[in-house]
Amino acid sequence: MKKILYVAGEALPFASSGGLGDVIGSLPQALASEEGNDIRVMMPLYSKIESKYRKKFEFVCEKYINLSWRRQYCGVYKYNHKGVTFYYLDNEYYFKRDKLYGEYDDAERFAFFCRACLEILPELDFFPDILHAHDWHAALSVIYLKRCYAVLDERYKDIKSVFTIHNIQYQGQYDFSILGDVFGLMDSDREIVEYGNCINLLKGAIVCADKVSTVSPTYAKEILSPKFSHGLDNVLNMFSYKLSGILNGIDRDYYNPSKDKEIFANFSSRNMSGKEVCKSELQKMLGLPQRDVPMIAVISRRVSHNGLDLVMLAGDDILKDDVQLVVLGQGDNSYEQYFVKLAERYPDKCRALITYNRDLSKQIYSAADVFLMPSKSEPCGLAQMISSRYGAVPVIHETGGLYDSIKDIGCEGGGNGFTFAAYSAYDMLNSVKRACAFYNSDREGYRKLQKKVMLVDFSWKQSAKSYIDLYNQL
């Protein structure tokens, strides 16, 4: 039996801002159920966590945490969620905020969190075999372990660390002035975290971790090159012997069209009639004509690496055909404006929903025939897996985890989607048109493809094994 501690800034169903929350909400469970491991997760006790969960949390202990010259309260709560022990670290000064991240003092908030994660281990009488930290918010836990705790305290000496990069774009970069004052690191630690003339927490974690992983094999290769590395390719090449890529999975119980209560009608690959109901009910809800035309969905945070610039270039061309386009998500203003205007230009064909809501996203996945995900880069991507589960066939750009999970129907043995290799609006448009033409010309064939796509196994089963192998190497 292995003892594994996950340190992360978010986990579903408690708090999430994106794919990281999905992963921390499902991978630990998959590991716990596979081998009877002792898997525990630590995350901040955000005030945003709904009271229906909070009221179940049990107080464990409290401790004052030293962070440079500060001494801050940390309350510890716990809750067993599907076989995994979650700990929630409480400090209202740091975590009673509107947002999970993006606050002016994120550096201090997450330094506190990372220190507290290590400080409370004696109180919990839990010293893990592996500390598995995720993204820059948790990077300091790996750095503190290596530079402070393992050196000064016998009990921490044997803890090995894994650091997973979910998106290399976000690195935790700060001015050197906070090295000692906020992070409580020494001048001798400076070279560990120094990169590009500032503190770079992701770089520090890459240096300090025993293993570094990312969320797909292709992304693990891509980030070794400057085109994808956001400046970190030198460091990653130096430590490439530590690096591997393991494809994420999804929680197949949470995303289950045959049981979901949030969608208009249930369906499965054996009986697809519910999917038609989902489509016509969504059309009704959005005020679109209730017609049988290919429905294309885009569900995405509106940020540039998600490939929306291509959709902006091709929007009018897509909508020239007899199709419907439903766009869900919020983000950069320029994208939002574009889609709102597009919907105004095509009132019978297009809707832009500038919001994000998980139930609504499920209603769209379950209604759509085509799911467009043209990301410029994509560490793993979960939406293409979720859309598959709901029978919305993905159209993807061949990059990162999209490339690892979706193959073109024209490939040997037949694929599970429509793909394009060059990052170009023309090539994307061509793939969207291929999908719609297939839908229009051979409805039976398209149904078969939808059923096939729904049956692809994007569970954690295989990937959980790969993580166990990684832990075993340590």
The residues binding ligand GLC (CB under 6 A) are: 18-20, 23, 166-167, 215, 248, 378-382, 401
List of residues 6+ apart from 278 with CB closer than 8 A:
263, 264, 265, 267, 363, 366, 367
* Closest CB to ligand GLC among residues 204, 245: 245
Least separation in angstroms between CB 407 and ligand GLC: 18
Least separation in angstroms between CB 460 and ligand GLC: 12
Tokens of 370: 């085509």
CA angle 224-230-231, nearest 5°?
Answer: 75
Least separation in angstroms between CB 323 and ligand GLC: 27
Burial of 58 (0-12, 13-18, 19+ CB in 10 A): exposed
Least separation in angstroms between CB 434 and ligand GLC: 24
List of residues 6+ apart from 118 with CB closer than 8 A:
141, 144, 145, 149, 156
Tokens of 234: 């030198």
* Closest CB to ligand GLC among residues 380, 409: 380
Q: Tell me the HSE value of 109 on the side-chain side, using a 13 A CA sphere.
A: 25
* Closest CB to ligand GLC among residues 19, 128: 19
Measure the CA dihedral 7/76/118/123, to 10°: -140
Euclidean distance between CA atoms 13 and 245, whole angstroms: 25
Bridge partners of 195, per DSSP, are 198
Phi, psi of 239 (to 5 degrees): -110, 25
* Closest CB to ligand GLC among residues 166, 279: 166
Least separation in angstroms between CB 31 and ligand GLC: 15
* Closest CB to ligand GLC among residues 23, 45: 23
Least separation in angstroms between CB 375 and ligand GLC: 8
Least separation in angstroms between CB 169 and ligand GLC: 8
Least separation in angstroms between CB 218 and ligand GLC: 11
Least separation in angstroms between CB 27 and ligand GLC: 9
* Closest CB to ligand GLC among residues 106, 119: 106
Bridge-based pairing of strands 3-7 and 38-44 is: parallel
Cα–Cα separations (whole angstroms), residue 160 to 9, 79, 381: 20, 25, 28
User: Do 193 and 143 form a contact (C-beta atoms < 8 A)?
Assistant: yes
Nearest residue to ligand GLC by CB is 19
* Closest CB to ligand GLC among residues 222, 378: 378
* Closest CB to ligand GLC among residues 215, 343: 215
* Closest CB to ligand GLC among residues 162, 278: 162
Phi, psi of 173 (to 5 degrees): -105, 130
The beta-carbon contacts of 147-151 under 8 Å, at least 24 apart in sequence, are: 147/185, 147/186, 147/189, 147/192, 147/208, 149/118
For 77, the enclosing helix (H) or strand (E) is strand 70-81
Least separation in angstroms between CB 77 and ligand GLC: 25
User: Do 351 and 326 form a contact (C-beta atoms < 8 A)?
Assistant: yes
* Closest CB to ligand GLC among residues 63, 376: 376
Helix, strand, coil percentages (3-state) for the chain, rounded to 5, are: 45, 20, 35
Least separation in angstroms between CB 21 and ligand GLC: 8
* Closest CB to ligand GLC among residues 300, 366: 300
Q: How far apart are the first and last CA of the chain?
A: 14
Count how many residues are written for the chain.
Answer: 474
